[in-house]
Structure 1
Amino acid sequence: MMQRFSCPFCGPRDETEFFYGGEAGNERPEPAENISPVRWAQYLHMEKNEKGRAREIWVHLTCGEFFVMERDTVTHEIFKTEAFHGERT
């Protein structure tokens, strides 16, 4: 069954138009030149991936805009979507 996500810029669209960008709140370690390879790998690849309510970064491939979606990872209920303002937190 296809889901419908609501882009804050374009409105409701089929899930095939969207791409998952990661968990919101995963703060980029800085300054980059002082970050160990282990810490960098953790930032890039390790996510909480918890069941239940989550805040995630998504991109709408049609308009190219990034946004934050708050949804339940078990039931797939979407609580809200909002514009992403460049911060990953």
Structure 2
Amino acid sequence: MFYIFCPYCGEHREEEEFHPKGQAHLARPENPDDCTDEEWGNFLYFRSNPRGLHHEMWVHAIGCRKFFNVTRDTLTYEIKETYRMGESPQVTQPSDAHTSNFRQSSEATS
């Protein structure tokens, strides 16, 4: 179990109180009525699934019930920061701590 800091409550709480809601900072199309079906489908269903640093939207479901953003390393599950909706992330570059030991390719992928 790990603890997540809620930027609204100001406390570290157990992970069971929170639910991830997907990728953060997605720009909704300015005029959805002018989007093609393909463009609208891409906005609704296709998300980044990076290895490493990722910005996610979460909700404090059993606490204040507010949405907020999390910057998390998907390789280590380490939460780098939490911040309120409408704010920008402070952590935007991945650390090199795990990349030096990560195999970029192997015989199986060559």
TM-score, normalization by structure 1: 0.84
Please give the alpha-carbon distance, in whole angstroms, between the structure 1 residues aligned to 2:86 and 2:6.
Answer: 14
Over the aligned positions, Cα root-mean-square deviation in angstroms equals 1.5
Aligned match of 1:13? 13
- Listed as ranges, the gaps of 5+ residues in structure 2 are 88-110
1:59 aligns with 2:59: yes
Segments of structure 1 that go 5 or more residues without pairing to the other structure are none
Partner SS for 1:69: strand
TM superposition shift of 1:65:
0.9
- Write the deviation string for residues 10-53 of structure 1: whole angstroms up to 9, x where unpaired: 21111121121221232111211111222112111111100101
Flag as ranges the 4+ runs of structure 1 deviating above 6 A.
none
Task: Give the C-alpha shift of residue 60 in structure 1.
Answer: 0.8
Percentage of identical aligned residues: 36
* Superposition pairs of residues 67-78 of structure 1, within 5 angstroms: 67-78=68-79
Q: Secondary structure in 1 aligned to 2:48?
A: coil
Q: Which has the higher strand share?
A: 1
CA distance in 1, matches of 2:65, 2:37: 30
Distance 1:69 1:45 in 2: 20
Give the AA of the match of 2:8: F
Bigger radius of gyration: 2
Secondary structure (helix, strand or coil) at the match of 1:12 reads strand
The match for 1:35 is: 35
Q: What number of residue pairs does the alignment pair up? A: 85
